[in-house]
Chains A and B, each alone.
Chain A
């Protein structure tokens, strides 16, 4: 019986004729009341006046569905900061996309939620910054935020929608993982995504404060596996061993330009939401180009698609189809060269830089957070 996730089937790519994309991330705005120091938004945040209109988003969703996209993740910034969100959801729903709202939850009201459900919203993902108020609000730098999130999560379940809790973990909250799992379970989440911080953009700026210790990571790996087993059938725990502490790179985005794209608030189409951290790449804009053309012909997408772009030791590596070269943004952040072997890989000539970062305790516990604002 063959029944594989699409992502596992999508191993081979051809630069000349990319397969249709499976999912897209729509970053509706960079505005957000939270200031998490690991935010995946670029350092150069878009202003409200830069944002695509609801009409443009609806048109983009139609193009995306025609191209083969099945799911849209509506994110930001904080997507509920846009008062026209129900119209945007409805535009995605009308063309058949499975709609996922990725929200901090702090601006959500029962009224908005009702409108979103009526517009066809399928699923909500709410982020938690920690299990207790003090820690959570230290990270988000938003007073009262934690309680609002808990309330929002309850409204989501009362509205009959499935809920994912997303907990980003790092040095400052990793020791509370057990409580975070219990909190998500108590909220009747269908799924808990435990996501280690990915170190580029804002997070790279804050790496001295956020990078966990090896001991913390080992404990978290064990705990997540145990809890996943204990809660089988009740709550799915999606946990990935953080690549900084692994021996092989993650299969980032399931391959660059392979089955996913993101669109920034300004309308730039990106192979990965962090791709703007790579200076020197230019991106096409949905205001100027058709999505179909961008997916097939855009240079930024073509640049690292498939395996032809790989340097040695990747080019002749037996793992190259498995990890598809790992993460380009990470290669750029650590080596300054986006086409370098992902330094996470033990075979990378830059792997020492990464281990030095992990084991450098000079700033541990003393580095101050630079908030995203």
Chain B
């Protein structure tokens, strides 16, 4: 067991193949599905995830959203890290080149 891994601004997050983000018409919301998990996404979370393409870094995602919303970067950064770390801790997000597991 190594040291805990924490997502940082330079990491490039993407959703793994086994994670689905989809529109759920029954509940009229965006949802994220993974192994034995369903999360309801609010609009902000959905927008953050739309930017997780494995190319953009977390820092770039923050900058993009700051420009789009004309909001202070500390606030956006906090929001982005909160959402992405929650997903990373649940293994619903890939965020670095992994030797194993995708």
Residues of A within 8 A of B (CB): 1-6, 9, 20, 22-23, 67-68, 70-71, 73, 98, 100, 122-123, 125, 157, 160-162, 164, 182, 185, 188, 190-191, 227, 229-236
A-B contact count (CB 8 A): 102
* B side interface size, CB within 8 A: 38
Encoded as 1 (CB less than 8 Å from any A CB) or 0, chain B from 28 to 64 comes to 0001011111111110110000000000000000000
Quote the shortest CB–CB distance from A57 to chain B (angstroms). Answer: 20
Q: Is B18 an interface residue (CB 8 A)?
A: yes
Indicate whether A229 sits within 8 Å of B40 (C-beta atoms), given known contacts A123-B35, A160-B102, A191-B91.
Answer: no
Which residues of the other chain, A, contact B102 by a CB distance below 8 angstroms?
Answer: 160
A5 to chain B: which residues have CB within 8 Å?
37-40
Contacts A1-B79, A162-B16, A164-B36 given: A68-B27 contact, CB under 8 Å? yes
A residues less than 8 Å from B44 (CB atoms): 1
Cross-chain contact of A227 among B1, B17, B27, B100 (Cβ < 8 A): B1
Complex: how many Å from CA A227 to CA B3? 11
Q: For residues 43 through 102 of chain B, which have their beta carbon under 8 Å from a beta carbon of chain A?
A: 44-45, 79, 82-83, 86, 88-91, 100-102
Shortest CB distance A164–B (Å): 6
Closest chain B residue, CB of each to CB of A19:
B27
CB closest chain-A residue, reference B29: A6
Interchain CB contact (< 8 A) of B17 among A9, A20, A23, A160: A160
A-B contact pairs, 26 of them (CB 8 A): A1-B45, A3-B86, A4-B40, A5-B37, A6-B38, A23-B38, A123-B18, A123-B36, A125-B36, A157-B101, A162-B18, A162-B91, A185-B1, A188-B100, A190-B101, A191-B36, A227-B1, A229-B4, A230-B1, A230-B3, A230-B4, A232-B4, A233-B91, A234-B2, A235-B91, A236-B91
Among A1, A4, A68, A190, point to the contact of B91 (Cβ < 8 A): A190
Contacts of A100 in B (CB 8 A): 35-36
* Complex interface: chain A residues within 8 A of B40 (CB): 3-6, 9
